Structure 1
């Protein structure tokens, strides 16, 4: 079997990819203390994006109390847009698409490793079993 198809362009739905190589979403624990994108994070992506067709970032905290991992970067409000733009520029420097992984920590938001940097929510975020069955 030839490896050549790995290096051929393709479309994933309507998203053109220059090849079938991808960087899977990985948590790097590299955010700044204020939850913005660190220089180490941008260097991490810039070193890896040149040869792949798709880059998917590590998870991004989307609610203030929904952190999944310590040192996770945030997208909880517009004040993080300059930081996220820096990440987008780094991941797209390889000229391929680079979607972000947005994630609410949900029930895992109360994990002890997340608590090291952020106070534990009064209750973990999780689906409300009663929402489907109102009284």
Structure 2
């Protein structure tokens, strides 16, 4: 059962977190192109599509920590430092996405400047990359899954 839960955790991460990080990363450059050429309506459609992708996959991404907690519980590693740090970084990434990136995208769609959105998106992506590395390296872990 542990291997099934771990598999679901990894699949959820790939299916949910991958698209939101890519779409979020594509949004700032697309917004700059839209600002440079406001007469082209395709830019707005691209921005709306990227924002919708981010919103939908952010919700789907809730499955990642759910399966992660289940896996950690089955392995008895919930209190291990690498898991605790991963949980904290996952929470930080979710906070950056929900409180900064998505509202920033909405402001851009409403006509505001794209300033600093790329930086916050990069921070979001860096947090997820760090969690991924921790999940692979598992510093101090004694489990072998």
TM-score, with length taken from structure 2? 0.26
More strand by share: 1
TM-score, with length taken from structure 1? 0.27
